[in-house]
Amino acid sequence: MIANLFCPKCGTIMLPEGKKLKCSGCSYSPRSKPENIILKEKVEVSKEQEIEIRDQKVETLPKIKEDCPKCGNKFAYYWTLQTRASDESETRFFECVKCKNRWRLY
């Protein structure tokens, strides 16, 4: 249910257009809408959750001696990913334990 609002500029009733309200007289449209704020909050929460899950996974990965090309740190987390064809060599991924830089080797 959308409450009818009147335009602050010309006083004409504003009608919903898509997700926004728009004045039927002068085409004024308010910038901030409650729906947009709720949507933004949801996105931020899901991003944080993704980071948490990712960090947990990284912490369980084995550490190996590998030079970071970015900061020169000597240790990196290490994991592999198989390409679609099983006979092809797997791709090796590294994440620097110090600066979190990621790189790969084929």
**Which residues participate in catalysis according to the annotation?**
87-88
Taking CB under 5 A as the rule, does residue 104 contact Zn ion? no
Residue that has been written with the tokens 């030079």 in this structure: 67
Residue that has been written with the tokens 């729906």 in this structure: 35
How far is 44 from 40, CA to CA, in rounded Å?
Answer: 6
Question: Structure tokens of 105?
Answer: 């080797």
The correct pick among 22, 58, 61, 73 for binding Zn ion (CB under 5 A) is: 73
Taking CB under 5 A as the rule, does residue 39 contact Zn ion? no
Shortest reach from residue 20's CB to Zn ion, in Å: 14
Nearer CB in complex with Zn ion: 7/21: 7
- Helix boundaries (H) for the chain: 34-59
Three-state secondary structure of 43-69: HHHHHHHHHHHHHHHHHCCCEEECCCC
Taking CB under 5 A as the rule, does residue 101 contact Zn ion? yes
How far is 58 from 61, CA to CA, in rounded Å?
Answer: 5
Shortest reach from residue 100's CB to Zn ion, in Å: 7
Tell me, by CB under 5 A, how many residues bind Zn ion.
16
Taking CB under 5 A as the rule, does residue 68 contact Zn ion? yes
Question: What is the contact surface with Zn ion in residues (CB under 5 A)?
Answer: 7, 9-10, 12, 23, 25-26, 28, 68, 70-71, 73, 96, 98-99, 101
